[in-house]
Chain A
């Protein structure tokens, strides 16, 4: 337990650094968000309006730096990330609305891909040296195809040419969202191709990683002992798989961390809502509060995921548990 607390301390420090950099960075850039917005305003702008925008953006820019920083931390503690310039609503609300699309689509796809890939890896790892090894070149090929290419080809073939799947969007826009079957089925139909594309492109990585670990672990004495003990084959495989899966689990938690930033391509290609699309909009519109908000969200998911990896390793590997306890 003390170990986890110590790790938590390290992450808290990292989070503080991130937050501070997030505060300093925009202030070091030439020009400032306020000028950007002011330049965009048309018509007669009163001094009061300008002052209001300044406050909206996180305080009076003429305040001393330290006070601005304090104000910024205070706002952050209340999940107040400011107001988006382009979308004119609070950044926290926008993120809260969009994050579920990303988690729902890319999260589900990542979990599916990890599970299928790992199980296949265990099977092919156990069958090493047989004809099943022919799967390796195929997997390597799949792994080396860039995602945007695979995604585009899938859309062209299965959505544009053969119409097996809808072309774009998260649901049929003519249906009003709500808890009814029409909407839910439309939602599922629209998620099929994006999920398939993600699974196809990332499956091979999980599979090859797990297969290699299985081959390594299967050579260990304790697996030989499991055979010598007359255990049924599935138990022998389990002996090996339990140890072999550790690196894969660590990699998976790290992959979760990259989920938000990785969503950009998928959401662009399939014109799917989510944080990925938001990033593009925010950068395109020089929407500083939104960019800062997304930046924080991404760093916090990465931090959270690696913390999760630490905990999982600690829980799953008794050797680490002992080594860190002493």
Chain B
């Protein structure tokens, strides 16, 4: 692939729920960039702000969610002919033009994401017609069949209502629909969480294959790190609205640097490799209304030191590779030694893909 530009550039992005005094910060100072055709995984427990982040970026937040700060630049087009959009300043009309043609989204529950009153075919037709008014009904129908074939479904599914299909079929339909207009960026908000492991597995490999063919960039949200390591180039772990760690997928998976990442990994059985005891993370995600002082994770952290309870660790590079983590353990001026689980060597050479 040639030199890639950044399709998405996010700086100091903040989302609040509510206004003024009662406002709760759900996403706090998040910055990242996403290269065209790259996959960014976002992991974290429920309530960590990962979904709020992407709804905010795509301006799909509903009241009382408000974007309170930040900059989001979305850039499309080949080299030399690039168009950049300031997503936070875009008008409703600009957004309508960008939505689905350039950025599409797949939600966790395909059953509720499909209009229960409509046949699948009509949903496809509507989205294709909206973005290409001159297309003929036949061509749209052809395209819908082609899209279904891409996710391994027969054309007769077009005549069905959502409630007549299985969970896996519905999610495949959502994925097919997300790809209908060949968008540059597809956002997947826990697309496999509501499915059984076998279907989950199938859909992940299909996504992998589709991405290889079509080359769209993807933000994949999940709480299952083992799933992400196969799909993502880079993984971002969120806790209480903050990014706590960000690194290349394999680095993060094989050598986590933040105690929370380690905890997340121990909460899921690995798809491959030896069996390990699942330890999970003690305690519950914090109440965003009353975050603990210092590091938000400190009350649940097995390695917490005095400073963790009083001062918030910045997201900084923790080694020569430039990977980021927000943890005092990696700051020599506060910590004498890093716990061995958080200091594993990188497995170089097995970089994703």
Contact = CB atoms under 8 A, between A and B. Distances in A.
A228 B115 contact: no
The main secondary structure of chain A at its interface with chain B is helix
Nearest to A319: B163
Contacts of A226: 115
B127 A222 contact: no
A221 B117 contact: no
A224 B114 CA distance: 10
A189 interface: no
Given A228-B105, A322-B163, A243 B63 contact: no
A229 B237 CA distance: 28
Nearest to A222: B115
Nearest to B116: A319
A317 interface: yes
A239 B97 CA distance: 19
Interface in B92-111: 92, 95-101, 104-105, 107, 109
Interface in A284-326: 316-319, 322
A227 B60 contact: yes
A15 B7 CA distance: 68
B347 interface: no
Contacts of B101: 230
A163 interface: no
Given A228-B100, A318-B161, A239 B60 contact: no
Given A129-B63, A231-B126, A225 B113 contact: yes
Given A129-B63, A318-B163, A319-B161, A228 B117 contact: no
A221 B105 CA distance: 12
B116 A232 contact: no
B60 A317 contact: no
Nearest to A316: B117
Contacts of A243: 115-117
A224 B97 contact: no
A84 to B, nearest CB: 49
A222 B116 contact: yes
B172 to A, nearest CB: 16
B116 A235 contact: no
Contacts of B109: 221
Contacts of B113: 221-222, 224-225
Interface in B115-153: 115-117, 119, 126-127, 130-131
A219 B60 CA distance: 12
Nearest to A233: B92
Nearest to B55: A224
B95 A230 contact: yes
B6 interface: no
9 contacts: A221-B107, A222-B113, A228-B58, A228-B100, A230-B96, A230-B130, A233-B92, A235-B126, A235-B130
Given A228-B99, A230-B130, A231-B127, 10 more contacts: A220-B112, A222-B112, A222-B116, A228-B100, A229-B100, A229-B130, A232-B130, A243-B117, A316-B117, A318-B163
Closest 7 CB pairs of A and B: A230-B99, A221-B112, A230-B96, A221-B113, A222-B115, A318-B161, A229-B100
